[in-house]
Copies of this chain bind each other. A is one copy, B any other.
Amino acid sequence: MRVRNISVIGSSGIISDDVKELAEAVGKYIGESTFNLVCGGRDGVMEAVCRGMSTVKGKKGSIIGILPGYDFDGANSFCEVVIPTGIGYARNSIVANSGDIVIIIAGATGTLTEAAFAWSYNKPLVAMVKSGGIAKELAGKVLDYRSTVPVYTCETIDELDFTVKKIINENKDEQI
């Protein structure tokens, strides 16, 4: 039976200690939930969220990295399932569409492609607003005519938990 996915999108490369700590806490939260984690499989926010989830003993979901390149070793060391797509950054569309819910942490234009894809695919989006970047920019906004529900804004893991439960509850008759 399918385990639902939370996709986490955010900055690659070097990130601040605050963002790292937040991403790890989000990963830990996902590990304690019943969701798989889907992400781009690389460094920065992706690595931090994978590391956070990996610390949870007896977790139900899997840690999944969807890579742009062809090699398994492009993945951070916390991914359990590595899918080396070989399709470059077009893989951002796959990361966005694979989430039942998509969480934004910090991020630049790569993250923006994923958030915009997620919106156009009618995915519920949650912005961890204190992380800055694309998360801060999109929090609370209606991105276009496709939906009237804005990007959810969360400051804490408690608020994230509340929002995730609300999203699931509102969609319980649908596929999610």
Which residues of A does B touch, CB under 8 Å? 1-3, 5, 36, 38, 62, 64, 66, 70-73, 75, 77-90, 92-94, 97-98, 100, 108-110, 112-113, 116-117, 119-121, 143-146, 175
In-complex Cβ contact of A112 among B73, B88, B116 (8 A): B116
A77 to B145, CA, bound (A): 27
A38 to B98, CA, bound (A): 16
Taking the nearest CB of chain B, how far is it from the CB of A79, in angstroms? 6
- B90 in contact with A2 (CB, 8 Å): no
With A109-B120, A113-B120, A175-B73: A38-B146 Cβ-Cβ less than 8 Å? no
With A66-B83, A94-B90: A75-B117 Cβ-Cβ less than 8 Å? no
Count of this chain's copies in the oligomeric assembly: 4
Q: By CB atoms of chain B within 10 A, which of A2, A73, A84, A120 has the most?
A: A2
A108 to B143, CA, bound (A): 8
Q: By CB atoms of chain B within 10 A, which of A38, A66, A116 has the most?
A: A116
In-complex Cβ contact of A36 among B81, B88, B110, B144 (8 A): B81
The residue in chain B whose Cβ has the minimal distance to the Cβ of A71 is B175
- A97 in contact with B70 (CB, 8 Å): yes
- B72 in contact with A175 (CB, 8 Å): yes
A31 to B84, CA, bound (A): 22
In-complex Cβ contact of A89 among B36, B72, B73, B86 (8 A): B86
Taking the nearest CB of chain B, how far is it from the CB of A89, in angstroms? 6
